[in-house]
Structures are given as C-alpha cells and as structure tokens.
Amino acid sequence: MSGKDKEQLLEKLAETHLAIRSKLNEVDLEMPVHKGSGWRAREILGHIATWDLETARSINAYRAGSEYSVTDLDDSEVDFNERAVLAQQKLSNQQVLDQWELAYDELKRSVQEIPIELFSGDMLYPWGSDRGSVTRLVEYMLEHAVEHRDEILNAIEA
C-alpha cells in the first residue's frame, strides 16, 4: 500500500458518504425501507453508523497493537443489530443524522491515522469471525454502505 493508495481509499470513503448524504434531501427518514424488519431509513443510517464505529474501533485497536471485536454477536449479527436499532429509537431524526456523520468522521480518522505499513497486515474485523487487511475491511464497509444506500433508493422509487 502506498500513500497514493491510502488517499484513493479515503477518497472512496468520502465519495460514498457524500453520495448517501446527497440523497438524504429526497428521503423522509421515517420512510419504511425493509418490509420484513420494519426498518425505516433512519434505522438504516443508524445501522451504518453503528458498524462504521465498530470498524473504527477495530482499526484503532490494531494500530495500537491490540485487537477489538464486538463481544455479543450471534452468528447472523441480528440480535446486535436489533439492539442498536432499539437504542437509537429514542433519538430524534437529527440526532440519528448527527451520529451517522460522527461515525463517518471517526472511521475516516481511523483510516487517516493508521500508518501505511500496517494497511496490509492481518487484523481482526469487528464482527470477530474474519481477519484481513485494513484495506479489505474498509472496502467491505464501503460495499455495506452502498448496499444500504441502494435499499433506500429502491424504497424511494417504489
């Protein structure tokens, strides 16, 4: 990994975040997105924020020479995700948006601060069942955010 590769990864992170943010003007955060779970757009944003923070914690622990993973995950992460959604229900829509922005900032900061020589090393991912490089973890989280952005866009179109 070179400094240029790191900058490109940070650019992808920023572009993905801005692409979601640009669509939020079109979205009623109370709009249902998942029919099965009942998650609204606000729960989707809260879910992205939760995992961005967990990812930042893993990267920061790795940078410090340690490991971090969420300790109370089941195999499918459903219970953890539901607990996070329940905790966020008491928040206003603006607070959910603020948390989403803060989580992005924390993830971005963790990527900015990790030395280039650690990017290709083997780290524990926040869900605890996988290991790999920082680059692959950040790419996975980008895919995660895009997947959920597309769900919101599909709900808008429906």
Quick one: pLDDT at residue 30? 93
Whether residue 1 is predicted with pLDDT greater than 70 in this model: the reply is no
Q: How many percent of the chain have pLDDT more than 90?
A: 71
Q: For residue 130, how many other CB atoms are within 10 A of its CB?
A: 13
Q: According to the CATH classification, is domain 3-157 in 3.40.640.10?
A: no
Closest CA relative to residue 117, chosen from 136, 131, 133: 133
Give CA–CA dist 29/52, Å, rounded. 19
pLDDT in tens, 110-126: 999 999 999 999 999 99
Q: Could you give the CA distance from residue 51 to residue 85 in angstroms, rounded to a whole number?
A: 12
pLDDT bucket at 23, cuts 50 / 70 / 90:
confident
Report whether 4 contacts 102 (CB < 8 A). no
Domain ranges across the chain:
3-157
Q: Look at 61 and 35; give whichever has higher pLDDT.
A: 61
Q: Is 47 exposed, middle or buried (0-12, 13-18, 19+ CB in 10 A)?
A: buried
